[in-house]
Each structure stands twice: as C-alpha cells, then as structure tokens.
Amino acid sequence: MNLEKRQNLSKFLARYEIYKLICNIHGSIVECGVGDGTGLKTWALLSAIFEPVNHPRRIIGFDTFEGHKSVSSIDNTAEGKLNFGGFEELKNWIIDYDKNRFVNDIPKIELAKGNTVNEIPKHL
C-alpha cells in the first residue's frame, strides 16, 4: 500500500471508516475488481486488527486478473495500473498475511479468478 499520495491515503481512510461501520454486522466483505490488491489488502488488514478472531468473516476478491482488454495506451501506464495481472503476487501476499494473523489456520481471504458475473453465483 503506497500511502504517499493524498488520493491513496483518502481511499484508505474511507475504507477504515466503512470498516468501523460494519464491524458489528455479520457477513463477508466482497470486492469486485481487485486491481492491484490495495483494497483487498486494506480490508484484510483492518479485519486482522479490529476482529482478529472473527474467522467466519471472509474477504473475497473477484477479478479476472487479466487486466482490462480495451484500455487506451494512456490508461495502460504504471500510474493507471489498469492492466494489473498480479494474481500470483497477490497469492504470495496472502500467504505472508496468514503467517502474521491470529487464528491463521482458518483461511480469511479468497480470490475468485474469472468473470465476476460468472463467479458470484458460484459463491452464493
């Protein structure tokens, strides 16, 4: 998570405020379109901090992990990150995250690779 830019810190703070609102609500957190994983990582870290033993709450990230097929060359830059395909990188982050988490023998994060429209019904 790169919090050096104002926009990134603003997104983090917004997720933090949302998380405080949902702490007492049962259910999983679903992110449709994981991108570079910043949102998914934030939800997971906030869960580990605020609810370390709430093992029924899952963090589920839906994405093709193939990037957008029809982005312009302007959007397909290092800054835009619209063509992020770091599925393996994100899986490795999850392994490290689980090593440093209470009740780490119960999986917390799930990546649903594929078209979100097709993957969501499989999880319901």
Q: What is the pTM of this model?
A: 0.83
Per-residue tens of pLDDT for the chain, all 124 residues: 666 789 889 999 999 999 999 999 999 999 999 988 999 999 999 999 999 999 999 999 999 888 767 766 666 555 545 445 588 999 999 999 999 998 899 999 999 999 889 999 988 8
Indicate whether 1 belongs to any domain: no
The CATH number for 94's domain is 3.40.50.150
* Structural domain for 62, as ranges: 6-123
Q: Which of 109, 113, 115, 75 is nearest to 94 (CA)?
A: 109
Q: How many domains does the chain contain in total? A: 1
Helices (H) and strands (E) in the chain, counts: 4, 3
Indicate whether 76 belongs to any domain: yes
Q: At a CB cut-off of 8 Å and minimum separation 6, what does 86 contact?
A: 36, 37, 65
